[in-house]
């Protein structure tokens, strides 16, 4: 018992004690707003991906969500840098903006080749054999201009 008492006394004054500086109300408010915008940003990025994957016919909705995600991502990135928010928010925002850029390319490609993609999906939906699926893919490849193949 006496041994543990000595150990307690020895460790009590060793090293700096962490001092928590209270954040101002403005800093707390900025953090809360940035976190809310970050959550909205992530939801719109995920929404754009899921809508794009779900059905190519809703490419317009995916395009709208991608544009909204891009705008929100830039706003969150600026707020994160300006108000010195946690690094995880900065990392998540940069990652989300990369995914948004990729989604932008996918949406633009889907818009340019919308007719060919819908024809491929309709053909593949009815293809029950491997030969029929290969035939659908071959028709799709032939429908794309030769410079892009």
Those residues of the chain that have pLDDT short of 50 are none
Dist. CA 124–CA 25, nearest whole Å? 58
Dist. CA 135–CA 71, nearest whole Å? 41
pLDDT in tens, 42-59: 999 999 999 999 988 899
Which pLDDT belongs to residue 62? 96
Backbone angles phi, psi at 55, to 5 degrees: -155, 125
Stated pTM of the model: 0.75
Which pLDDT belongs to residue 85? 85
Which pLDDT belongs to residue 21? 56
Q: What is the DSSP letter of 22?
A: P
């Amino acid at each position: 018992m006496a041994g543990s008492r000595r150990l307690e006394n020895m460790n009590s004054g060793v090293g700096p004690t962490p001092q928590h500086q209270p954040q101002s109300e403005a800093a707390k408010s900025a953090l809360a707003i940035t976190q809310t915008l970050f959550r909205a940003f992530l939801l719109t990025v995920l929404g754009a991906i899921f809508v794009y994957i779900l059905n190519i016919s809703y490419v317009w909705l995916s395009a709208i969500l991608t544009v909204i995600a891009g705008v929100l991502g830039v706003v969150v990135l600026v707020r994160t840098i300006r108000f010195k928010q946690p690094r995880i928010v900065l990392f998540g925002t940069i990652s989300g903006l990369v995914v948004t850029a990729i989604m932008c390319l996918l949406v633009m490609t889907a818009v340019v080749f919308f007719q060919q993609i819908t024809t491929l999906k309709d053909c593949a939906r009815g293809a029950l054999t491997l030969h029929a699926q290969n035939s659908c893919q071959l028709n799709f490849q032939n429908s794309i201009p030769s410079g892009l193949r």
